[in-house]
Chain A
Amino acid sequence: MPKRVVVGAHYGWRDWLVQRVTAVVMALYTLLVVILVVRNGGLYDPLRTDIVKNCS
């Protein structure tokens, strides 16, 4: 067997899993924010009360 020099991403399953878990957390957070904004009837913008009024 030839001796190979391993290069590139070889960081092991732990870092791999941590990356996936944080990705899922961020994705869920995004969905939470979207749900809150939709339930709020849009983003609150005090300088454009016309829009806020039209939404509510």
Chain B
Amino acid sequence: MAALDRPAPKPRPVYLNLLAIRQPVPAIVSILHRISGALLFLFGIPLLLWVVQRSLASPDAWAQMRSLLATPLAKLALIVLAWAYFHHFIAGIRHLLMDLHWGMDLKSARQSSAVTLVLAVLLTLGVAVKLW
């Protein structure tokens, strides 16, 4: 029978280990878009509301909030949130352009995702320098 000529089938089930496979750059940008969105929603908005609330409560509360945000740990958190904002902003515009079928082919999709990654990091570095 012909079946005897075939190589032995690979063991099943075949599954993808998301931590082991190398993701293409657009996939990384897409995943980071979700992560940054979650960060902004879960931490960014509450922090922003808290800062506004503290700064309007009283001059004392404002000064207290201000010195708390000046600690290294708080600055680090602010830098992470700044990155999340930049990445989400740029990747979001990229997704909107792709909705309009802009840059849909593989080459430009790869290029724009690389630009997204690099630009977000550069802008974050700018904020980090300003903040520190």
Contacts and interface: CB of A to CB of B under 8 A. Distances in A.
A40 interface: no
Interface residues of B, number: 6
A23 B102 CA distance: 17
Interface residues of A, number: 6
Nearest to A47: B66
B89 A30 contact: yes
Contacts of B93: 27
Interface in B72-101: 89, 92-93, 96, 99
A20 interface: yes
A23 B92 contact: yes
Contacts of A47: 66
Contacts of A23: 92, 96
A30 to B, nearest CB: 6
Interface of A: 20, 23-24, 27, 30, 47
10 contacts: A20-B96, A20-B99, A23-B92, A23-B96, A24-B96, A27-B89, A27-B92, A27-B93, A30-B89, A47-B66
Interface of B: 66, 89, 92-93, 96, 99
